[in-house]
Amino acid sequence: MIDKKLVKTKINSIQNNLEQLKRFENLSFEKVVENYDTHKIVERIIELLINEAIDINQHFISESKLNKLSFDFKESFLLMEKLNIYPKSFAQEISLSVGLRNILVHQYNRLDEKVFYTSIKDCLKQYSQYCRYILKFLS
Q: Catalytic amino acids?
A: 101, 106
Distance CA 128, CA 132 (A): 6
Could you tell me what percentage of the chain is helix, strand and coil, using 3-state DSSP and rounding each to the nearest 5? 75, 0, 25
Neighbours of 68 (CB within 10 A): 13
User: Cβ neighbours of residue 122 under 8 Å, at least 6 residues apart?
Assistant: 97
